[in-house]
Amino acid sequence: MSHYDENGNVSMVEVSEKSDTLRTASAQAFIELSDKIIRLIKENGLKKGNPLEIARIAGIMAAKKTQDLIPLCHQLMLTKVDVQTELKDNGVQLISVVSCIGKTGVEMEALTAVSVAALTIYDMCKAVDKRMTIGNIGLLTKSGGKSGDFVR
């Protein structure tokens, strides 16, 4: 499969001949936060509210909009999107799980979910400290389709 046609032009991959199978992917991201932000989150002291819950919602919404954000992604009928947040000593660990029954995988949806969730935490905390760092974004697992499973 290629994102190029016979003339070298960019094109969406043709998947209509592929079988519908259960496709699942999970991804992670981490946002490093200052001690002050972590304390404010624990105390529910941020003026914009609880960034962890808002980030979960933002990540779910982002997964559902991936085809609008990433060129050449297929529009998928997602059957599950979950984003979990865990406050750590130095930041927030984000993990998404996305599923669908379809002809192509949901890796980009899972990665988009954690990326936007991390950006949302940044947005909600930037008034306190702009020195946050988003990183460790990566695919954790992928299953479904002919290509087999992937586990990081």
Q: Are 115 and 122 in contact (CB under 8 A)?
A: no
The one-letter code for the residue type at 82 is D
- Which residues form the catalytic set? 123
- Rounded CA separation 53/60 (Å): 11
d(CA 132, CA 82): 24
How many CB atoms sit inside 10 A of residue 85's CB? 22
- CB contact at 8 A, 104 and 3: no
- Indicate the helix (H) or strand (E) that contains 80: strand 78-87
